[in-house]
């Protein structure tokens, strides 16, 4: 059997980030507009700290302004809402991201819905979810947006294709279903109660796994030639004692012999998420100031 095309998310993310930097330079020069992204981290979850640090670095590298707010684990919901209100009112801040998960005393939905929808660069606000669902202009969640760009690397034309997404979360599965519907795919969203999951996934021309279960999707769940996008990030023990490694939701070593194209983990969907976040920050800055979205961002 042949080997699938490996869709290089790192390279594609670098290309997007290059375009984001060009768009930022254009807005600074032509419109005296420096897009600004504020990231709020509550508590000291180590993974979240890593994400927040790299978001800040990438934001600055792109020439944008980065504002970081670190709040203690015991922060009250009220204090966080006050911080968001201040950022909503700050004209230098065009994007606001609250790093999830939040501590138990804080209602995440309430916090997300307190963000000005035009500054909601994660696209999680109900207004943006509703706009996406009804075909209106919306800020779209970053990971699903990245998945579509990755799929396009292998499938320039998606119209009429069967797409199966495993996972129905608000941040990945559901918005991705909408985006693939917009690409004119026939979309199935499978989940933990789906009957005969391998039978369902074998129909997919485009198969997306967003579950959080290491190597769940086996080679024989995949239609030969399918495009496979692996969103999962799972840490498992490595062969070497005491060490761990990252794997996706797809059994890559088996899938690579069946699929037509596949994203690796790491180096697939992961790097695309931050790139799309910065792209969304530029869109938000344009939305708020009336500046035109730079042409270099067309199609991404
Ligand atoms: P989630 O836990 O919110 O949702 C998981 C979904 O999987 C649920 O809808 C559930 O119905 C479904 N599911 C659970 N068990 C199943 C089973 N046995 N069979 C079929 N479906 C099942 O997760 P999420 O936030 O959507 O994230 C999913 C994965 O993607 C995680 O590994 C997460 O780390 C990763 N992720 C990666 C990025 C990235 O940037 N690469 C971004 C977000 C999430």
pLDDT surpassing 70 at residue 99 = yes
Read off the pLDDT of residues 213-225 as tens digits, 9 standing for 90 and up. 999 999 999 999 9
Tokens at 272, concatenated: 């695309």
Residue of the CA atom closest to atom 31 of ligand 1: 212
First to last CA, the chain: 33
**The length of the chain, given as a count of residues:** 300
Under 8 Å between Cβ of 68 and 41: yes
How many Å lie between the centroid of ligand 1 and the Cα of residue 229? 13
pLDDT at 1: 63
User: H or E stretch including 131?
Assistant: helix 126-133
User: H or E stretch including 262?
Assistant: strand 261-262
> For the residues 154-183, what does the mean pLDDT come to?
98
Under 8 Å between Cβ of 214 and 237: no
- Cα distances from 37 to residues 12, 158, 281, 283, in angstroms, run 22, 33, 7, 12
Read off the pLDDT of residues 228-285 as tens digits, 9 standing for 90 and up. 999 999 999 999 999 999 999 999 999 999 999 999 999 999 999 999 999 999 999 9
Report d(CA 272, CA 105) in Å as an integer: 31
**Percent above pLDDT 90 for the chain:** 99
The confidence band for 144, taking pLDDT boundaries of 50, 70 and 90, is very high
Probe target for ligand 1 pocket from 122, 217, 218, 231, with the most ligand atoms within 8 Å of CB: 231
Nearest partner of 38 among 114, 102, 92, 100, judged by Cα: 92
Question: What number does the ligand 1 atom closest to the CA of 194 have?
Answer: 20
pLDDT at 174: 98
Residue of the CA atom closest to atom 19 of ligand 1: 192
How many Å lie between the centroid of ligand 1 and the Cα of residue 167? 5
Non-local (6+) Cβ contacts of 238 within 8 A are: 244, 245
Report d(CA 125, CA 213) in Å as an integer: 27
**Bridge-based pairing state of the strands 186-190 and 162-166:** parallel
Report d(CA 93, CA 281) in Å as an integer: 9
Probe target for ligand 1 pocket from 193, 211, 269, with the most ligand atoms within 8 Å of CB: 211
Non-local (6+) Cβ contacts of 140 within 8 A are: 123, 128, 132, 175, 179, 280
- Cα distances from 205 to residues 127, 145, 151, 216, 223, in angstroms, run 31, 18, 10, 18, 7
| Residues in the ligand 1 pocket, defined by CB under 6 Å | 143, 166-169, 171-173, 190-192, 194, 197, 210-213, 231-234, 269-270, 273
> For the residues 14-20, what does the mean pLDDT come to?
98
What structural domains and CATH numbers belong to the chain? 30-120+274-297 (3.40.50.10860), 141-267 (3.40.50.720)
Question: What number does the ligand 1 atom closest to the CA of 249 have?
Answer: 32
- What positions carry a catalytic annotation? 55, 99, 122
pLDDT at 2: 82
Question: What number does the ligand 1 atom closest to the CA of 213 have?
Answer: 32
Under 8 Å between Cβ of 154 and 5: yes
The confidence band for 100, taking pLDDT boundaries of 50, 70 and 90, is very high
Q: What does the mean pLDDT of the chain come to?
A: 97
pLDDT surpassing 80 at residue 150 = yes
The confidence band for 117, taking pLDDT boundaries of 50, 70 and 90, is very high
Residue of the CA atom closest to atom 35 of ligand 1: 232
Nearest partner of 220 among 196, 205, 199, judged by Cα: 199
Question: What number does the ligand 1 atom closest to the CA of 212 have?
Answer: 32
The confidence band for 191, taking pLDDT boundaries of 50, 70 and 90, is very high
Read off the pLDDT of residues 28-43 as tens digits, 9 standing for 90 and up. 999 999 999 999 999 9
């Amino acid at each position: 059997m042949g080997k699938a095309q490996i869709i290089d998310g790192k390279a594609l993310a670098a290309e997007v980030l290059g375009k984001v930097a060009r768009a930022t330079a254009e807005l600074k020069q032509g419109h005296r507009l420096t897009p600004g992204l504020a990231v709020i981290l509550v508590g000291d979850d180590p993974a979240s700290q890593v994400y927040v640090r790299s978001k800040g670095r990438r934001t600055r590298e792109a020439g944008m302004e980065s504002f970081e707010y670190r709040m203690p684990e015991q922060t009250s919901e009220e204090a966080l809402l006050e911080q968001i209100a201040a950022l909503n009112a700050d004209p230098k801040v065009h994007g606001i991201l609250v790093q999830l998960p939040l501590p138990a005393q804080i209602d995440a939905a309430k916090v997300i819905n307190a963000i000005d929808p035009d500054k909601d660069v994660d696209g999680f606000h109900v207004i943006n979810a509703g706009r996406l669902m009804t075909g209106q202009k919306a800020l779209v969640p970053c990971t699903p947006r990245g998945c579509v760009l990755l799929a396009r690397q292998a499938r320039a034309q998606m119209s009429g294709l069967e797409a199966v997404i495993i996972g129905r979360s608000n941040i990945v599965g559901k918005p991705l279903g909408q985006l693939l519907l917009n690409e004119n795919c026939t979309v199935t969203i499978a989940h933990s109660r789906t009957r005969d999951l391998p039978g369902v996934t074998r129909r997919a021309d485009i198969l997306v796994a967003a579950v959080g279960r290491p190597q769940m999707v086996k080679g024989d769940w995949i239609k030969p030639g399918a495009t496979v996008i692996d969103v999962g990030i799972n840490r498992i023990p490595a062969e070497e004692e005491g060490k761990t490694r990252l794997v996706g939701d797809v059994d890559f070593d088996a899938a690579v012999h069946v699929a037509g194209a596949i994203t690796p983990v790491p180096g697939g969907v992961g790097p695309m998420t931050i790139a799309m976040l910065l792209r969304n920050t530029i869109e938000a800055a344009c939305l708020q100031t009336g500046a035109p979205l730079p042409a270099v961002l067309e199609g991404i």
